[in-house]
């Protein structure tokens, strides 16, 4: 189990994001402490992915602020934040289809210059994801969706993140591969990596979370411990459906 602390690594304050004439995020607050796994759940269109994109600098904000390691990162670009350890695995995975698995992993270390450390981390990723080792010379575009998700997570870990944001890692995967991906999320968390997990699969996300936030229509409407939210009748009725049976 990762060691938690009172040290706040990431703090979202009054975040508002609008695009295309739509107010997607309407002024939300949340925080992530060092060593935590925090899940952000909600239905499709609740504003979860928009929030993640604003945090990592790939989408501008209209109001509010985001503090990372105690400093505002408002207006900072995604590439710049990766160098400081704030890394996102986007929805849809975004692997480099015409590159091999190994080449994709090396791209994740583009901000680093420590060759020995990079080589050691590639080996570590292959230990976490044995399936990637088996296919290390295979082109990423020829892999299954689940394998591509493993690769995207491995590539992100190559940057040695302080905070890893995972956006819908189980989307579109078979039940067996969903099990594997959540197992990997738990393994990465156990290594001490602080994780923010955005998921529509609320039961799975809350079951492994230290804390959770529920988003509805661009607002945070509930917060609490992961298992506390999992047991809450309102959450079960709204998000778990048959999963709660």
**Nearby residues of 199 by Cβ (< 8 Å), 6 or more positions away:** 39, 40, 41, 166, 168, 169, 170, 205
In this structure, is residue 53 part of a structural domain?
Answer: yes
What is the mean predicted confidence (pLDDT) over 210-214? 97
pLDDT band at 44 (very low <50, low <70, confident <90, very high): confident
Domain that holds residue 61: 8-244
Reading phi first (left if > 0) and then psi (alpha if -120 to 50, else beta), residue 92 is in left
Contact 23, 13 (CB under 8 A): no
pLDDT band at 69 (very low <50, low <70, confident <90, very high): very high
The whole-angstrom separation of Cα 61 and Cα 40 is 19
In this structure, is residue 1 part of a structural domain?
Answer: no
pTM (whole model) above 0.85: yes
Phi, psi of 211 (to 5 degrees): -140, 160
Q: Count of CB atoms within 10 A of residue 243's CB?
A: 12
Which CATH number does the domain housing residue 78 bear? 3.40.50.300
In this structure, is residue 180 part of a structural domain?
Answer: yes
The whole-angstrom separation of Cα 152 and Cα 235 is 30
What is the mean predicted confidence (pLDDT) over 139-154? 93
Phi, psi of 183 (to 5 degrees): -60, -40
In this structure, is residue 3 part of a structural domain?
Answer: no
Could you report the per-residue pLDDT of 8-33, keeping only the tens digit for each? 999 999 999 998 888 999 999 999 99
pLDDT band at 133 (very low <50, low <70, confident <90, very high): very high
Q: What is the pLDDT of residue 55?
A: 96
Q: What is the pLDDT of residue 242?
A: 42
For the chain, how many structural domains are there in total? Answer: 1
**Nearby residues of 172 by Cβ (< 8 Å), 6 or more positions away:** 145
């Amino acid at each position: 189990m990762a060691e938690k602390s009172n040290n706040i690594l990431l703090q979202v304050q009054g975040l508002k994001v609008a695009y295309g004439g739509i107010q997607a995020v309407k002024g939300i607050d949340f925080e992530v402490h060092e060593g935590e796994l925090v899940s952000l759940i909600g239905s499709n269109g609740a504003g979860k992915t928009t929030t993640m994109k604003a945090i990592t600098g790939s989408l501008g904000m209209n109001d509010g602020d985001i503090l990372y390691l105690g400093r505002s990162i408002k207006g900072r670009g995604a590439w710049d934040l990766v160098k400081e350890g704030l890394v996102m695995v986007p929805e849809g995975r975004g692997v480099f289809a015409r590159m091999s698995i190994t080449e994709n992993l090396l791209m994740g270390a583009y901000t680093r210059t420590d060759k020995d450390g990079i080589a050691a981390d590639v080996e570590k990723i292959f230990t976490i994801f044995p399936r990637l080792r088996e296919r290390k010379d295979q082109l990423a575009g020829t892999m299954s969706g689940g394998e591509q998700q493993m690769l995207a997570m491995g590539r992100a870990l190559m940057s040695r993140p302080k905070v890893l944001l995972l956006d819908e890692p189980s989307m579109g995967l078979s039940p067996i591969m969903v099990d594997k991906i959540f197992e990997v999320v738990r393994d990465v968390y156990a290594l001490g990596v602080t994780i923010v997990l955005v998921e529509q699969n609320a039961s799975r996300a809350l079951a492994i979370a230290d804390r959770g936030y529920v988003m509805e229509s661009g607002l945070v409407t509930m917060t609490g411990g992961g298992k506390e939210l999992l047991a809450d009748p309102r959450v079960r009725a709204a998000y778990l459906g048959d999963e709660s049976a």
